[in-house]
Amino acid sequence: MTPPEILTDSPSGHARAAAILRQGGLVALPTETVYGLAADATDDAAVASIYAAKGRPGHNPLIVHVPDLATAERLAAFPDPARALADAFWPGPLTLVLPLKPGHGLSPRVTAGLPTVALRLPAHPAMQAVLRETGRPLAAPSANPSGRITATTPAHVLAGLGPRIAAIVDAGPCRVGVESTILAPAPSGTRLLRDGGLAREMIEEITGPLIADTTPGATLEAPGQMSSHYAPHAPLLLGGTPQPGEITIGFGTTPGDLTLSPSGDLAEAARTLFSCLHTADALATARAAPAIRVALIPETGLGRAINDRLRRAAAPRD
């Protein structure tokens, strides 16, 4: 099998990525949150190949990325307070689950047959350039095998998906480092489906108190919220006293073999989270370590998204 083309973050790299996407191919693209595994969201076969490459269950719908608000408004309705949220936080790490409009043209696989679609307008210039050049909405879940550690660098993408994809646009590590926050806006109250790169506190300034709906595995509406996810090969433990032989990941004053942020900065911890987990997992395998143990992270701001990922990484496997 052929390894993916490594494309530069340049007009010629973006043009090549767009050409592959328009022919129904899979391209890993940088976003400000994590690397996305992109395909033309209107092409049923291309969308099916995302699920196949990731080994992702077909009932777990994909986020659709758009270049601008006008495209988003052609695809979906914006019940209050969706427009205010889009105005405040797009482009950025926020996904809105919205009712599909008739004639949307998206592959039904993208939404796993739901009457709603998850839309995002990403802030990364490379992703924006490829979206404009392709001229199609792009379905893009994280560019890693389903259930494994999220990819935030081209090396993670290559190690996880390798020859299953046609190309990778290399724009270095992602700035935010955790996936987008997912909201379902409604006049009766906005539900929080997943904590992510946009902190709850900022959203609540616009929406008032959010209705938390993020319990792992609890809802049918967000079937992607499975309990075991982001899993390293070694067992992951949260807090507690390190035992001999474990690989430790520190934070702030809690030391470790690795650290999420020596200064205890949550934005830095979000940015380094998945790279630390990838590195810790490789170390654990090399040293036959019994476990990876991570320091406790405050449950505030981006700490909520970090803790959500860590709890799922630590959850019992199916």
For binding to Mg ion (CB under 5 A), which residues are involved?
A: 142
Classify each residue of 135-173 as buried b or exposed e, where b means 16 or more C-beta atoms within 10 Å of its C-beta.
ebbbbbbbbbbbbbbbbbbbebbbbbbeebbbbbbbbeb
Nearer to Mg ion, 142 or 272 (CB): 142
**Extended beta strands in 138-267, E state:** 138-139, 167-170, 181-184, 191-194, 211-212, 236-238, 247-250, 258-259
C-alpha gyration radius of the chain: 19
Is 142 annotated as belonging to a binding site? yes
Q: Residue 233 has which token pair?
A: 């090969």
Asked if 38 and 120 count as a contact pair (C-beta separation under 8 A), the reply is no
Q: From the list 25, 122, 141, 185, which residue makes contact with ligand AMP (rule: CB under 6 A)?
A: 141
Looking up tokens 């309705």, which residue turns up? Answer: 77
| 167-170 vs 116-120, strand pairing mode | unpaired
CB neighbour list of residue 61: distance below 8 Å, 6 or more residues apart: 110, 111, 112, 114, 117, 118, 223, 224
Any contact of residue 185 with ligand AMP (CB under 6 A)? no
Q: From the list 47, 123, 178, 193, which residue makes contact with ligand AMP (rule: CB under 6 A)?
A: 193
Nearer to ligand AMP, 28 or 247 (CB): 28
Is 120 annotated as belonging to a binding site? yes
Is 230 annotated as belonging to a binding site? yes
CB of 36 to ligand AMP, least distance (A): 8
Any contact of residue 111 with ligand AMP (CB under 6 A)? yes
CB of 54 to ligand AMP, least distance (A): 9
Question: What residues are paired with 96 via a beta bridge?
Answer: 119, 183
Any contact of residue 168 with ligand AMP (CB under 6 A)? no
CB of 164 to ligand AMP, least distance (A): 16
Nearer to ligand AMP, 110 or 284 (CB): 110
- Residues 47-66 binding ligand AMP (CB under 6 A) are 60-63
Residue span 207-246 as binding mask against ligand AMP, x where in contact by CB under 6 A, dash where not: --------------xxxxx---------------------
- In a 13 Å sphere around the CA of 98, the CA atoms on its Cβ side amount to 25
User: Cα 116 vs. chain centroid, distance in angstroms?
Assistant: 19
CB neighbour list of residue 270: distance below 8 Å, 6 or more residues apart: 176, 177, 178, 197, 302, 305, 306
Rounded Cα gap, residues 39 and 85, in angstroms: 26
Any contact of residue 152 with ligand AMP (CB under 6 A)? no
Any contact of residue 179 with ligand AMP (CB under 6 A)? yes
CB of 141 to Mg ion, least distance (A): 5
Task: Return binding residues.
Answer: 33, 56, 60, 65, 116, 120, 140, 142, 180, 194, 230
Q: Which residues are annotated as a binding site for ATP?
A: 56, 60, 116, 194, 230
Binding residues (CB under 6 A) for ligand AMP: these are: 60-63, 97, 111, 114, 116-118, 141-142, 179, 182, 193-194, 221-225
